[in-house]
Amino acid sequence: EMVMTQSPATLSVSPGERATLSCRASQSVSSNLAWYQQKPGQTPRLLIYGASTRATGIPARFSGSGSGTEFTLTISSLQSEDFAVYYCQQYNHWPRITFGQGTRLEIK
């Protein structure tokens, strides 16, 4: 069974600083990984797919990297609207997908 593990569970960062979120897969997913942002009371929003491709309309301060089992989402200079919960999702084993448990990004 595929397990996606995100760390840390909560990350406290000051506005303007860089945030680095991690996602680890229990087995290789190649580059078949997406990242989503979810704000309270809203549905998730696609940020990144293919591990590093930004979705339409996503600001350049969001970047994704990694392949295999280790992935990173970096937000280069945090804006107030970026504080939210972030989920990774693998899609390497068609048609099943698996989400990580999420990382809460909070204001320091």
Partner 1 sequence: QVLLVQSGAEVKKPGASVTVSCKASGYTFTNYYIHWVRQAPGQGLEWMGIINTSSGSIGYAQKFQGRVTVTRDTSTSTVYMELTSLESEDTALYYCARRAVSGSGSPNWIDSWGQGTLVTVSS
Nearer to partner 1, 14 or 56 (CB): 56
Q: Closer to partner 1 at the Cβ: 16 or 95?
A: 95
The rounded distance, in Å, linking the Cα atoms of 41 and 38 is 8
| Sign of the alpha-carbon dihedral angle for 39, 44, 46, 48 | positive
List helix spans (H) across the chain.
none
Given a contact cutoff of 8 angstroms between Cβ atoms, the answer to whether 28 and 68 are in contact is: yes
Single out the residue of 13, 55, 63, 68 in contact with partner 1 (rule: CB under 8 A). 55
Smallest distance from partner 1 to CB 44, Å: 6
Q: Closest distance between partner 1 and the C-beta of residue 14, in Å?
A: 25
Of the ranges 13-21, 39-47, 67-75, 76-84, which one interacts with partner 1 (CB under 8 A)?
39-47
Please report where in the chains the tokens 């989400």 appear, as a residue. Answer: 99
- Answer for the pair 82, 47: CB distance below 8 angstroms, yes or no: no
- Interface residues with partner 1 (CB under 8 A) are 1, 32, 34, 36, 38, 43-44, 46, 49, 55, 87, 89, 91-92, 94-102
